[in-house]
Structure 1
Amino acid sequence: MKYWLLGLLLLAPLSGHSAAATADEQGRWTINMRDVDIRDFTEQVASISGQTLVLDPRVKGKVSVVSQTPLRLSEVYQLFLSVLSTHGYAVVNQDGQARIIPDSEART
């Protein structure tokens, strides 16, 4: 029931762009988002995963993610990391929180 309600909430368009993240009965997610703000995508992943994600103010941009096959939670997170990397950002875990920062800063 929890996934069904969350899935309905995630179907609402973000910032007027095409966005959807839906869950099936097994807790797998199908994510389809076109030209959404990377911050909105991060918010969706935080909602799905239950993680605390802290965004650096320099994190900006539009992303598109198209998933035809339902993904397990671990796969959603790997997809998230891939999208961040593609756009030049990285996740650094610090004090039990995941901080999203520019990749160049994460390497130092």
Structure 2
Amino acid sequence: MVAKKTIHAPEWVEERELWSLLLSHATTKYEYFASRARAFETKHGCDLMAFKKRIDDSKEESFVNWDDLIAWEAFDAASQKWKTRHEELRACFIS
């Protein structure tokens, strides 16, 4: 959802520069969380859904795997949130 907002800034700051900074911030956040999620893909040799299935199908409980799953899900959710935010900002910037 996009709401029209006014940002007050000094005259020497250009509007495009503010948009650029916001986009850069969203990109940095997305890349950070996505890289943390990718580290779990590398560690476990599969994607998140396959790892969830592996844990669900396992006869043994592994607290390390459960901890990894919780962290992985959090990093995945955060990366998706920041990807969406980046797309929303781009849509505002382009229009």
Q: TM-score, normalised by structure 1?
A: 0.24
Q: Larger % of strand: which?
A: 1
Greater C-alpha radius of gyration: 2
Highest relative contact order (Cα 8 Å, sep 6+), 1 or 2? 2
Q: TM-score, normalised by structure 2?
A: 0.27
Q: Larger % of helix: which?
A: 2
